[in-house]
Amino acid sequence: MAAAGRQLGREGRASLAAFVLGASVAALPPALLPGPGPGLGLQGRVVLALHVAGVGALLRLLYRPPLYQIALRAGFLGFAFGCGLLLSVGQSAWRHFGWYMCSLSLFHYSEYLVIAINNPRSLSLDSFLLNHSFEYNLAAVSSWIEFTVEKVIYPEMKQITWLSTIGLLMVIFGECLRKAAMLTAGSNFNHIVQNEKSDTHTLVTSGVYGWFRHPSYVGWFYWSIGTQVLLCNPICVTGYTLASWRFFRERIEEEEITLIHFFGEEYLEYKKKVPSGLPFIKGVKVEL
């Protein structure tokens, strides 16, 4: 942790401070916690609005562009995380959605933070992955709509705690595996598949890369499906599984072509010994 702290530049420090400020919404008085009804009362909404306004004003005073743009996104994710905590610890019927909010916001913020530690030269606003793709955003919105509609039609379906707990465990496993992969890869990790080999680019085969060739994708795959198991969203569980599997199959094939070009026989030997980690995905086929 000390080494990580020394590597954290001003962008990382600004994002961390903003995330904590946003998450401080979880310190609101217990009287404002959601009850068994659909949400907060008028007083609670006013307090939340004042909190958002106060944090936004403070960030504007503390930071100037481009740090303000970083802090604004991190603060928003922190606020979502804090609201998720409020839902999670209360007796609200939306408790499992609170787990989901914590999982989603922490995933996106930690993507930025780990890149800030590992590979600050490639750090950008895109490192939050908030604008990953239209398809990604559509999938997220679809899951929110499914959860809400099914909760109205059949509320008991969203209260299957044992199933949501399995989903939460999948989320935790996927998140930990992905971040372990990113930290193990160090400066070799990048959100964008690289077409040119840098002088510092090495083939990482230790740690979680000794278990799977693509542990960051394996983690993301199970994390994404786990979020829908957590929400008890049967339609999105199926859709996320199929869409994620297809995306990572294509991504792995694209990436392995590049890795074979970079490392040649060294990567081919590694490929023979270590599985991709994703079901029924063997990676690019090599013609001998």
DSSP string, 37-76: SSS--HHHHHHHHHHHHHHHHHHHHH--TTHHHHHHHHHH
Which pLDDT band holds residue 36 (cuts at 50, 70, 90)? very low
Which pLDDT band holds residue 5 (cuts at 50, 70, 90)? very low
Is residue 162 over pLDDT 70? Answer: yes
Per-residue pLDDT at 4: 43
Per-residue pLDDT at 149: 96
* CA angle (138 as vertex; 133, 140 as ends), nearest 5: 100
- Joined together, the tokens standing for residue 224 give 């994404």
- Joined together, the tokens standing for residue 272 give 């023979």
Q: pTM for the complete prediction?
A: 0.91
Q: What is the mean pLDDT of residues 247-258?
A: 94
Question: How many Cβ atoms are within 10 Å of 46's Cβ, its own excluded?
Answer: 12
Residue 202 or residue 192, greater confidence: 202
Q: What is the mean pLDDT of residues 183-193?
A: 87
* CA angle (64 as vertex; 59, 67 as ends), nearest 5: 80
Q: What is the mean pLDDT of the chain?
A: 90
Produce one character per residue of 13-33: b if its CB has 16 or more CB atoms within 10 Å, e if not.
ebbbbbbebbbbbbebeeebb
Is residue 30 over pLDDT 70? Answer: no
Per-residue pLDDT at 90: 66
Rounded distance, CA 67 to CA 64, Å? Answer: 6
Residue 21 or residue 200, greater confidence: 21
Q: What is the mean pLDDT of residues 94-100?
A: 94
Q: What are 206-245's pLDDT values in tens digits?
A: 999 999 999 999 999 999 999 999 999 999 999 999 999 9
Per-residue pLDDT at 287: 65
Contacts of 255 (CB under 8 A, 6+ apart): 193, 214
Which residue segments constitute the domains of the chain, with CATH numbers given? 1-130 (no CATH), 132-281 (1.20.120.1630)
Rounded distance, CA 96 to CA 152, Å? Answer: 15
% pLDDT > 90, the chain = 75
Residue 204 or residue 2, greater confidence: 204
